[in-house]
Amino acid sequence: MIQIQNLKKSFRTEEVETLALNNVNMNIASGEFAAIMGPSGCGKSTLLNIIGMLDNPTEGSYQFAGHEVGGLKERQRTQLRKGNLGFVFQSFNLIDELTVYENVELPLIYLKMNKAERREKVKVVLERMKIAHREKHFPQQLSGGQQQRVAISRAVVTNPKLILADEPTGNLDSKNGIEVMNLLTELNQEGTTIVMVTHSDRDSHYAHRVINLFDGQIVTESQNRAMGAML
């Protein structure tokens, strides 16, 4: 699903150039659950944003499902992103002015799905994420764990093939963190590929494979368990 070769990413601000990713090579198969770990500032979010087509590499190749992402026009890239990708962030990134229901409905509006179909999809996912009883609430009226369940609902309502999660338990206590990890594991067992950035050793154990980044480079990789094996 994901093939990355000799990828470099540098940021230039005024006179300073930061090499955030330096010669990264990595493949992630469909159905995998991969964790990316490493110290703060080592390039984890940059890599995840490139995989999510939110940012472009400076050099190298990134293929998603056989498409060379750098070679796509903006319209084609949007098309590829739509329905294929779901994002989950540490800070939830919900829209405060919209209700729980409306936040989760938004990606379906972008997909131009009609209202009746949207209602059905949103209802099913909110039930599943055990947050349906809060559908008329606003994000600020919810606990962190509930907000992250809404964010995961929004990420999965389009049935994406790939979920990208950037420190999804970073703002949660351990009970809610474990609940979020169990949800991601369930989604993975149903076939969704997951790439997750994490600081947490506990969370990394849920992944099939751990990729360690240091200073923009992959330094080690380790296999936790084979794909398909139960935790």
Least distance between ligand ADP and beta carbon 80 (Å): 22
Question: What is the C-alpha separation between 179 and 39, in angstroms, rounded?
Answer: 24
State the DSSP H helix or E strand holding residue 63, giving kind and residue range, or none if neither. strand 59-64
- Give how many residues touch ligand ADP by CB under 6 A: 12
- Closest-approach residue to Mg ion (CB): 45
Token pair 């469909």 is at which residue?
Answer: 30
Contact pattern for ligand ADP over residues 29 through 68, marking x by CB under 6 A: ---------x-xxxxxxx----------------------
3-state secondary structure of 59: strand
Q: Examine residue 110 and tell whether it contacts ligand ADP (CB under 6 A).
A: no
Q: Examine residue 214 and tell whether it contacts ligand ADP (CB under 6 A).
A: no
Query: Considering beta carbons, is residue 45 or 148 the nearer one to ligand ADP?
Result: 45
Contact pattern for Mg ion over residues 16 through 45, marking x by CB under 5 A: ----------------------------xx
Q: Where are the alpha helices (DSSP H) in the chain?
A: 44-51, 74-81, 100-110, 115-128, 144-156, 174-189, 201-204
Question: What is the C-alpha separation between 153 and 157, in angstroms, rounded?
Answer: 6
Residues 44-73 that bind Mg ion (CB under 5 A): 44-45
| CB-based contact 217:199 (threshold 8 Å) | no
Token pair 């990789």 is at which residue?
Answer: 221
Using CB under 5 A as the criterion, which residues of the chain lie in contact with Mg ion when the complex forms? Answer: 44-45
Using CB under 6 A as the criterion, which residues of the chain lie in contact with ligand ADP when the complex forms? Answer: 11, 13, 18, 20, 38, 40-46
